[in-house]
Structure 1
Amino acid sequence: MYLNKEVKEDIFKKHGGSGKNTGSAEGQIALFTFRISHLTEHLKRNRKDFNTERALVSLVGKRRSLLDYLKKKDIERYRAIVKELGLRK
């Protein structure tokens, strides 16, 4: 599987502060970004996989909600995570 325990721990360690801090907004945004990029590559190969497309749209919406929350709470953390992950906007 593409997203095992070690990969998740590395993502949270890099963006969330520690491997166990799975509740931080930055860690969750980074995890969603990783999953979105994986699903995007899958959809490039399998254009008619509409269930995956629906899951991708859902993940993008969740990430957008977390980014909006972070922007409202702490604009500096928002700017840092957007720059670090290379997200638009």
Structure 2
Amino acid sequence: MDDAEPNCVLVTRVIPGSAADDAGLKHGDRVYELNRNQIASSDDFYDQITAERTPFDLLIERQGRLYRKQIRPGRLLAAETDLVAE
């Protein structure tokens, strides 16, 4: 995690047609919350999104603006979106 941006995960790639793409996630988005809970670590975030089988909410920042996005997982999200701990 980056001291300047604690508790966030950076989206580095979104595969077209994936659940992340369908939700509107984009390269460069920063994810700050999962189901209204702050992200403790990139490992914790990864574990949660890959285990989740029901829709979940993310709080993301894009170009200085905050958005809530709902992800409806249909398959393993880790294979669809590269996430890097900031």
Interval containing the TM-score (normalised by the shorter chain) = under 0.3
> TM-score of the superposition, structure 2-length normalised?
0.28
Which of 1 and 2 has greater Rg? 1
* Higher relative contact order structure (alpha carbons within 8 Å, sequence separation ≥ 6): 2
